[in-house]
Amino acid sequence: MDFYSGLRKLHQGLISREMTPADLVNFSLEQIKAVDMQVQAFVTVTEEQARVKAEQVRENGAEGILAGIPFALKDNMCTQGVETTCASRSLQGYKPPYSATVVERLERDHGILIGKLNMDEFAMGSSTENSSLCKTHNPWDFERVPGGSSGGPAAAVAAGMVPYALGSDTGGSIRQPAAFCGVVGLKPTYGLVSRYGLVAFASSLDQIGPITNSVEDAAIVLQSIAGPDRRDSTSVQRDVPNYIEGLTGDICGLKIGVAMEYFSPSIDQKVRAAVDSAILQLERLGAEMIKVSLPHTSYALSAYYLLAPAEASSNLARYDGVRYGYRAQDAENLLDMYRQTRSEGFGAEVKRRILIGTYALSSGYYDAYYKRAQQVRTLIAKDFDEAFAKVDVLLSPTTPTTAFRFGEKTEDPLMMYMNDICTIPVNLAGLPAISVPCGLADGLPVGLQLIGRMFDETTLLRTAHAYEQAAGFAPMRPALGVHA
C-alpha cells in the first residue's frame, strides 16, 4: 500500500474490501510517525478523531470516491474543535467553533481528516521558514525549503504521508511549493471555491485548492470542494462541471500560449530546459504553440506587494488580544496591551507586511500607492484577456529556480519575493492555474505552470492531464532527503 497510487486506486481497494478506511488511517499515521520527524510537515495530528471517523465510514458503507480516504489541511483553515494556528504565536491554542466550508464538503463526502499542516505565518512567505512552530523540510533534500506558504501540505503529499491535502494560494502559495516538492498544485479561479473559514491574508487574492500526486486526483478533490456558498460573498453562483469526465487526454488542436515575459534571463537554465522539453511534448500531442506577450508582467510584483500587504494590514487588525488568541501579560493599560500583544504575537515577516500595508493605505499615500496598484492590476487582467482571445491555455515555468537552501534568501526579502514572479500575476487576475512536475534539475523537481481562462478549469485540467500522462513524471517519489 502507498498513497502515490492515486485516489481512484485507493477507492477501488475500499470498494473491493482489499482494505478498510481504518487500514488507510493506520497507514497514514504510520507514515507520519516514520517520516515526519525529518520532514516536520504536521503541526497537529488528529489520530483519535480519524480512527472514530474511519469506523463510522465503514459502518455506514459510504462509497463516494473520497470516502474513507485520509486528507490533511494547511493550518489556516478552520476546523471545529481542532487547533487552528496559522503557524503564528498569536493564534496558538485557538480552537474554532466551526469548520471551513471546504472541510465540511470533504467530510460530507466522508473524507477523514488526519491533521493540520505547517505553513508560513498567516500564509506570508515563500519557504515556510516564517512559521513560528517549526521548519518544514523538502522531502527531496532536507537541507532545502519545501516552498511556501503551503510548504507543509506539499511536503506531506510528496513524502507519502497523505494522498492529498488542501492549501491556499494568494500569490503562488499552492503552485510554488508543489513545484519545489514534485507534486501537483491547483489554484482554482477566484470565487470557485468558498473562502468561508479560511483565515484571511489578502481577501481579494486568497483561494483554496488541492495539492495531490496527479492531475486526476486534483480534479477529484476540486469536484468535492468547488461550488457556491451563501456564507462567502465572493463565492460565484454557477454550476460546477464534471472535471473528472473532462480528462480525455485529447488536446489535439488546442492553442497554448507561451508567455514570453515569464522566460526572462533570471529563469535558471536547467529549469528552462525542462519547460522547453514540456513544450515539445505538448506539440507532439497535437497542441499548437503560440508565442504571446503579457506586457505588464514586470509590474505585477510591485502591485502585489502593495495590494496584499494593504489587505493584510486590514485583516490582521482583529488580532488585538481581546477576543481570542494570544494576549500579552502585565500590560500597563489597554493601548499597551494592544502594542505588546501584536509585537509579541506576530513574526518579523508579518510585521513587515502590516507596516507596508498600513503605510500604503495611510492618508496622503492611498492614491499614490494602493489606487495605482489597483490600476496596474486592471492592466494585468487585460493582458490576460487579450492573450486568451488567441489561445486556450497559457504556459510558463512555475518558479524561476528549484528549491533553495534554508537561509539562502531570508536576509533579503526582495530576493524571496522574486521567487513568486511567475505565479503572482495569476492571482491578480483571478485566473485558475496548475503546476505539474516536468522533470528534474540536479535531482530536484521542476514545475510546469499552465494558466486557464476564468472558470475554465475543465480545459486547464485536460491539458495538464494529457501532458502528465505523456511525460510520465507523476507521481514523483522523493528519496526522502538523500539528495546531496
Respond yes or no: is residue 173 known to be catalytic: yes
Respond yes or no: is residue 149 known to be catalytic: yes
Which of the residues 53, 74, 187, 409 is marked catalytic? 74
Q: Is the preceding omega at residue 475 within 30 degrees of 0, hence cis?
A: yes
Helices and strands counted in the chain (H then E): 15, 11
- Biggest alpha carbon–alpha carbon distance for the chain: 70
Q: In 83-174, where does DSSP find H-type helix?
A: 101-108, 151-158
226 beta partners = 193
Which of the residues 90, 127, 168, 173 is marked catalytic? 173
Residue type, 162: V
CB 197 within 8 A of CB 67: no
CB 100 within 8 A of CB 58: no
- Counting beta carbons within 10 angstroms of the beta carbon of residue 180, is it exposed (0 to 12), middle (13 to 18) or buried (19 or more)? buried
CB 176 within 8 A of CB 148: yes
Which of the residues 149, 150, 235, 435 is marked catalytic? 149
Sheet arrangement for strand 112-117: 42-45, 112-117, 70-74, 164-169, 207-212, 184-187, 433-441, 444-452, 393-397, 255-259, 288-292
Respond yes or no: is residue 74 known to be catalytic: yes
Q: Which three three-digit cell numbers place residue 477?
A: 517519489
Calculate Rg over the CA atoms of the chain: 21
Which residues are catalytic, by number?
A: 74, 149, 173
